[in-house]
Structure formats: structure tokens, C-alpha cells
Chain A
Amino acid sequence: MCNKLATLFVAGVAALCAQDMPLDPYNSVKINLPADSPLTLIEAKMGESHASARGSAVVLDLNMALTLRNSSASRVRGVTLLVAAQEVTPGGKASVTVPSLDVAPGQNFPVRIDLRLLRPGQTGGGPLVQVNLDGVLFQDLSFYGPNRLDSRRSMTAWEMEAQRDRKYFKAVLATHGPDGLKQAMLESLARQSERPSLDVQVSRGGRAVTSAAVPEHRAQFAFLRFPGAPVEPVDGWAEIAGNEARNPRIDVRNRSSQQVLHVEIGWIVTDRQGTRYMAASLPNAEPKLFLPPGSSGRLLQDTALRFSKNRGEPVPIAGMTGFVSQVEFADGKVWIPNREALAGAQLLGILAPSPEEERLTDLYRKKGPKALVEELGKF
């Protein structure tokens, strides 16, 4: 009873303290676009932003609705904005990317950033959040921006996937007509809803407390190899303890005739019931790999990943599979697996669809087949 009384008292105090506080969102956020930026900030609305106290801490909800204009002479395909709150999380940063765009020169487009910060009440002055342009990808795959987050590669890969998937759906339309396209959309929507999902918690440089008592062992990766892939996985392993995997390492070999700068491995885990989940991607640790033709290198990360599902039910790892999901060459070109390779390896039901496939299926679901056919006709 005393415990309940104490909890009620604490709750009362907390509720009394959880009051809205004055917040000047325009001074809390600074949006920086370079002078020669191909994008212009037209408007920044902070409509629903507010701060509230929680005990001695402050919760800030910043809801930014930015309107940007394409001031360049090329069509914009993707934008990445870097969001940093150094005072709150000095070791972390965030970004918001809008891929699969088709913004004509002079056209405006919206970007929303919804951010929540929990910080102590006492902090220094100055803007809490800085929003910087990290990159803009154009139709011809040229790029503008400081690229601190390697957004050039990410957005180029998404644009390659977009081109691949639009080509596939256009081929379906050409071969099987609107009914065939409708069938392909329904199959994609079914895959998206049936795809087994996994909750992943990532921590750097440390083992999670909850699994500290579980014996650890080294588990080998099995690999899926795609015909024509420029890089092949050779060997790989990770330390496994229950539902936690640590320090993955994968050796790869460059089979292409070009220097490779970046390799990303798709990481699938299998549970004891044999269900396969897309768990994570494993890129090279260094910003760039510089792997000459015919040579080998190692991808390694000093992280711990813990897998669960259904809001916290641990998923013990029974097996791990890897496949090359992305390769960047020295000339900036990016290789991704084609749809036939993914379908052949039965990965379409495990991997998330590309952003473009997701956008197109959403368009089909909301506006129907006619709108989808019109949209495909634009490209």
C-alpha cells in the first residue's frame, strides 16, 4: 500500500510538472542552405511545435513543414537533409531523405521533419537543432552537396532501384496490359503485408545486459551468390548469444574490373522455426573501401544487434545468410541486384520493397490503376 501511495504521489508531482512551456520554435531550429544551393527555402512552418516539462527534463516536439524550390535547371530525384542536435545527443545525428521525387525546375515540394528531443532543463543558448542540406540527386544521377552522410550513394542506389522497378512494372503493363499490372500490384501489396518483420535494437561498442548470461558462440554466414554480381562474399561470421549478434565480419572479393569503394551485405537471420527475416545491412566500416579489381577485403562492424518481435519477444538466431545488396564503384556508379536475381533467391518476400515500388503500390491503392498507368507514363 505504501508503495502505491508513493507512486501516486510521484505521479501527482510528475503530472503537475508536465506542463507546456514556452518555446520559440523559430529560434530553436536553424535551417542552413548553402549560398549556391540548387534548392531554395520558400517556407518553414513550425505549427504544432511545443515544449513540455517531464520532471527535471524537457521534451521538445518540433514539427517542421518545409517548402523547398528546385532552383536548378535539372529535375530533382532525391533530397537528404542532415538533422543534428549536438547539445542533446553529441554522439548522434539524424537525416530525412525524400527519394523517388520528380521535381521540375522552378517547382516547389514539401519536406516534413518531425523531431522529439528529451533533454535536461538546464542547457546553453543557441539553436537546439540544425538542419543542413546533405545532398541533392538529379535526374542524370549528378549530385550536389557536402555528402557527409554518404547520401550520394544511398540516393543513387534508391534511384537505380526506382528505375529497375519502374522498368519491371512498365514491362508487365506492356506484356499483360492493365489487368497484369493490377495483378502485379496486388502481389506486391500481399508481399508487403506478409513480410516477416523483426524489431532490431542497435548498440555500439558493448554487449546488451539482458543476454549477458547466455553463452556466446561464433556462427558462420551462409551466402547467396547472384550471377553477375561484381563482388562476392567469401567467408563471414558473427558472435551469437541467444537473440543477439555482435561484431559481424565478412570477407569479400572484388570480381569486377573496377575499383570498388563501397560494399553492402544484406543480412538475413533465421529463427528456430525456420522463418527468415531481413535483419540489417552490413556496410564497410571505413567511409570508403578502395578495393582494387581481384583483391579481397573485410567488412566488419563493432556493434551489437538484438532481435525481437511482437514487442519484445526475443528471436533466438538459428542461422544467418548474407548476400551482396549494393556495390559502389570509383566512378560513382552503383550496382544493385536485379529483380530476377532477387526472385530466384526467393528474397522478394523477405526484403522490403524499394521506395519506388512502395510509392507506386500506395498510388495504386489510393488512386487506382489509371493513375498508376499515368504515373508510369511520366518516366
Chain B
Amino acid sequence: MTHPSQSILALYAGKELGWLAARRAERHVARCSQCRQVVEAFAALHDDLVGFGDVPPLSWSRLAAEMKANIRLGLAAGECVRSESPAPLAWISGMRAAMAGAAMVVLLAAGLVLERSTLPVPPVAADESMVLRATANGVELNQGGQSLSLLHMRAAQRPGGQLDVTYSAGAQGSMRARYVDSDTGNVTINNVYVQ
């Protein structure tokens, strides 16, 4: 039996296939337990996609700078090689320059497009300084993609289901979460500081 490719199964799970291809995949999946499992796994992943805002942000600016530096290095290396080799015909040289220029334009345009189409990420400070913020279940300190969070898992719930936590910020760079521990009845104050 020939199995559909992973791409076809992923598209089928996401209901992204055309009508004919979908029917074909459907027939196969109905008969093949192995592919059915793959489809179920892909379908389950749909729900997990919501959490992908948590993926650590890529530094596109840094990536673009590295790409530009590499191109510059490549052009400089090319210059060194060219100076030692016999001069090509003028029209070929002109063509190469034009192609290199066009490639640069395409790269820069791609960089700009990528810069503007990144996944939505939480706002960060412009100079990549440390950021403190309250999250759904704790206080988080984020520094260069790494983070430390103090969680308040033992906080009692309000009637609406929300955790009964009082947050307060310190302008010196601190954030507190205060709650009554539902197990002990003691007040607990979690404090995270930026030094």
C-alpha cells in the first residue's frame, strides 16, 4: 500500500486539502491505522498552536545585520580573487554586478518583509533590557530570552475562577504578587527584582 506523504496528511488534518485530494486521503486513512494515528496527532497539534506566542522571539535585526555582513565579506573576498584573475569581458562583468545588485535588493526586501511579519511576541524594551511583568500565574523576569518566574499556584480562586492575587509594582524595578495560600492560610508575597 502506498501511504500519502506527511505533508498530505498534515494538510488533511488541518482541512486544507482540495476536495478531490481530501477524499483520496480520507479513503486511505479509513483503511490505514498508521496514517490515521499521524492525522490524529496533527489534528491534536492544532490546539497547541495557540501557545506559540511563547516561542522565544528571533532577533531579525541581528539576523539581517549578520546577512549583510556576510554579503559584504563575500563581495570583499570576490574583489580579492578578481584582482588576481584576468579581467573578464566588460559586458559579463556588468551583468554580474547587476545580478549582485539585484540579489542585494531581493535580500534586503526579504529582510524587511520578515522584519514586519514576525509572530506576535510580547513587547520588550527597546534596548533588550530586563522586563518584569505579571503573567497569568506568576511574576516573570525576562532577560535575553531566558526567564525566571515566581508562581502563585496556591492562591485561592475568586468566584469567577480568577486567582485571588494582588500585584504591585515598584518603580525601582520590582514586582510583587501577594496572595493568601489556600493550604496554610498564610499570606505569601512573591517579589521579583531587576538589579
Q: What is the chain B residue whose CB lies nearest that of A265?
A: B171
Chain B CB within 8 A of A33 CB: no
Contact A199 B126 (CB under 8 A): no
Chain A CB within 8 A of B85 CB: no
Given contacts A203-B132, A362-B185, whether A8 and B169 have CB atoms under 8 Å apart is no
Chain A CB within 8 A of B146 CB: yes
Given contacts A92-B194, A94-B192, A362-B185, whether A193 and B158 have CB atoms under 8 Å apart is yes
Given contacts A11-B45, A116-B138, A116-B151, whether A303 and B188 have CB atoms under 8 Å apart is no
CB distance from A17 to the nearest CB of B (A): 12
Give the contacts of B6-65 with A (CB-CB under 8 A): 7, 10-11, 13-14, 16, 41-42, 45-46, 48-49, 52, 54-56
B136-163 toward A: CB 8 Å interface, digit per residue (1/0)?
0011010101111111111010100000
CB distance from A266 to the nearest CB of B (A): 10
Task: Give complex CA distance A363, B180 in Å.
Answer: 10
Kindly identify which residue among A15, A89, A98, A363 contacts B143, using a CB–CB cutoff of 8 Å.
A89
B147-191 toward A: CB 8 Å interface, digit per residue (1/0)?
111111110101000000011111111110010110111111111
Kindly identify which residue among B42, B141, B186 contacts A94, using a CB–CB cutoff of 8 Å.
B141
Contact residues in A for B169 (Cβ distance below 8 Å): 200, 202, 279-281, 305
Kindly identify which residue among B168, B178, B195 contacts A358, using a CB–CB cutoff of 8 Å.
B178
Chain A CB within 8 A of B129 CB: yes
A190-232 toward B: CB 8 Å interface, digit per residue (1/0)?
0001000101111111111110100000000000000000000
Query: Which of A24-32, A117-125, A330-338 contacts its partner?
Result: A117-125
CB distance from A56 to the nearest CB of B (A): 9
Given contacts A92-B194, A280-B168, A282-B171, whether A112 and B146 have CB atoms under 8 Å apart is no
CB distance from B25 to the nearest CB of A (A): 14
Contact residues in A for B14 (Cβ distance below 8 Å): 4-5, 8
Task: Give complex CA distance A283, B172 in Å.
Answer: 7
Chain A CB within 8 A of B127 CB: yes
Q: What is the chain A residue whose CB lies nearest that of B173?
A: A204
CB distance from A325 to the nearest CB of B (A): 11
Kindly identify which residue among B49, B56, B146 contacts A89, using a CB–CB cutoff of 8 Å.
B146
Kindly identify which residue among A88, A114, A209, A280 contacts B148, using a CB–CB cutoff of 8 Å.
A88
Task: Give complex CA distance A12, B45 in Å.
Answer: 7
Contact residues in A for B166 (Cβ distance below 8 Å): 352, 358
Task: Give complex CA distance A352, B55 in Å.
Answer: 34
Chain B CB within 8 A of A132 CB: no
CB distance from B123 to the nearest CB of A (A): 5
Contact A12 B146 (CB under 8 A): no
Range class of the A interface residue count = 35 or more
Contact residues in B for A210 (Cβ distance below 8 Å): 123
Chain A CB within 8 A of B125 CB: yes
Task: Give complex CA distance A58, B99 in Å.
Answer: 44
> What's the tally of chain B residues with a CB closer than 8 Å to chain A?
69
Contact B126 A208 (CB under 8 A): yes
Task: Give complex CA distance A207, B185 in Å.
Answer: 40
Chain A CB within 8 A of B68 CB: no
Given contacts A94-B141, A355-B178, whether A200 and B127 have CB atoms under 8 Å apart is no
CB distance from A172 to the nearest CB of B (A): 21
Q: What is the chain A residue whose CB lies nearest that of B129?
A: A206
A78-113 toward B: CB 8 Å interface, digit per residue (1/0)?
000001010011111111111111000000011111
Contact A201 B133 (CB under 8 A): yes
Contact B11 A200 (CB under 8 A): no
Kindly identify which residue among B48, B152, B183 contacts A11, using a CB–CB cutoff of 8 Å.
B48
Contact residues in B for A99 (Cβ distance below 8 Å): 187, 189
Task: Give complex CA distance A97, B188 in Å.
Answer: 6
Kindly identify which residue among A114, A306, A363 contacts B151, using a CB–CB cutoff of 8 Å.
A114
Contact A202 B175 (CB under 8 A): yes
Chain A CB within 8 A of B131 CB: yes
Q: What is the chain B residue whose CB lies nearest that of A85?
A: B148
CB distance from B121 to the nearest CB of A (A): 10
Top-4 shortest CB links A-B: A203-B125, A206-B127, A200-B169, A114-B151
A-B contact pairs, 27 of them (CB 8 A): A5-B11, A55-B55, A83-B150, A90-B143, A92-B148, A92-B195, A93-B192, A98-B186, A99-B187, A100-B187, A113-B150, A114-B150, A117-B146, A117-B149, A118-B145, A149-B193, A199-B133, A200-B167, A204-B130, A204-B173, A206-B127, A207-B126, A301-B171, A305-B169, A352-B166, A352-B178, A359-B180
Binding site for B on A (CB under 8 A): 1, 4-5, 7-12, 14-15, 54-55, 57, 63, 83, 85, 88-101, 109-120, 149, 193, 197, 199-210, 212, 248, 267, 278-283, 285, 301, 303-306, 352, 355-356, 358-359, 362-363, 366
